[in-house]
């Protein structure tokens, strides 16, 4: 029963962390391209910045809403995988580290999206939908690449986190065999 509690707590915390990540990520991408929000995200989320206390607050709300739900999949993927451990103490030890792997992967991929957007896509052009009246198309592309790559980073990070959990399980099994002989 305690293992189930650890799994559920992990899912909840991953949702919270993903939402906070989304808030911070969107504040950075808004700084890069306000038009990404004024010409795309505000209408996508059907929000009026005046109702949320201005554009920055609206961007924070969008960041949370766009990201929190990824924590369900990441938290469940890691939490369910962590049932491979013999007890809840091992789950509590290794799950936060696996979540850290996801976080680092997501950050790195978001930065990769920024670099790809800035140094390649903005120069080469993209076949994505772009609003016609953009003043800074290059910045819009950079922000879009950051967003897309963050999602890729979360998914990749979840796979790496699951791999980490299996690796730790194998190490704990080896240690038990060593101490048993």
* Three-state secondary structure string covering 57-89: HHHHHHHHHHHCCHHHHHHHHHHHHHHHCCCHH
Rounded-to-integer distance, Cα 84 and Cα 61, Å: 36
pLDDT digits over 111-150, tens only? 999 999 999 999 999 999 999 999 999 999 999 999 999 9
pLDDT for the residue numbered 180? 62
- Helices 70-81, 88-116: inter-axial angle, 10-degree rounding: 140
Residues 154-179 as b/e (b if ≥16 CB within 10 A, e otherwise) read bbbbbebbbebbeebbeebeeeeeee
The residues, any chain, with a CB within 8 Å of residue 118's CB and separated by 6 or more, are 138, 142
Rounded-to-integer distance, Cα 128 and Cα 138, Å: 13
User: Tokens for 141?
Assistant: 């592309």
pLDDT for the residue numbered 177? 65
Rounded-to-integer distance, Cα 166 and Cα 181, Å: 23
Structural contact between residues 33 and 55, judged by C-beta atoms closer than 8 angstroms: no
Q: What is the pLDDT along the chain (181 residues), one digit of tens a residue?
A: 899 999 999 999 999 999 999 999 999 999 999 999 999 999 999 999 999 899 999 999 999 999 999 999 999 999 999 999 999 999 999 999 999 999 999 999 999 999 999 999 999 999 999 999 999 999 999 999 999 999 999 999 999 999 999 999 999 887 776 666 6
Structural contact between residues 132 and 14, judged by C-beta atoms closer than 8 angstroms: no
Cα separation values, 122 from 33, 115, 133, 165, Å: 13, 10, 16, 38
Q: What is the pTM of this model?
A: 0.92
Q: Which helix (H) or strand (E) holds 178?
A: helix 137-180
The residues, any chain, with a CB within 8 Å of residue 51's CB and separated by 6 or more, are none
Rounded-to-integer distance, Cα 121 and Cα 115, Å: 9
């Amino acid at each position: 029963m305690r293992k189930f509690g650890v799994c559920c707590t992990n899912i909840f915390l991953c949702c919270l962390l993903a939402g906070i990540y989304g808030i911070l990520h969107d504040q950075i991408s808004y700084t890069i391209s306000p038009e990404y929000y004024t010409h795309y995200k505000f209408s996508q989320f059907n929000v009026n910045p005046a109702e949320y206390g201005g554009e920055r607050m609206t961007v924070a709300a969008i960041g949370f809403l766009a990201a929190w739900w990824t924590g369900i999949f990441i938290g469940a993927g890691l939490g369910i995988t962590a049932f491979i451990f013999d007890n809840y103490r091992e789950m509590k030890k290794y799950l936060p580290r696996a979540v850290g792997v996801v976080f680092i992967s997501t950050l790195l991929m978001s930065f990769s999206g920024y670099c790809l957007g800035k140094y390649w896509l903005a120069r080469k052009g993209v076949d994505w939908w772009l609003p016609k009246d953009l003043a800074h198309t290059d910045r819009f592309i950079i922000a879009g690449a950051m967003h897309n790559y963050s999602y890729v980073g979360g998914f990749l990070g979840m796979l790496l986190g699951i791999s980490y959990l299996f690796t730790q399980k194998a190490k704990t099994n080896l240690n038990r065999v060593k101490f048993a002989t």
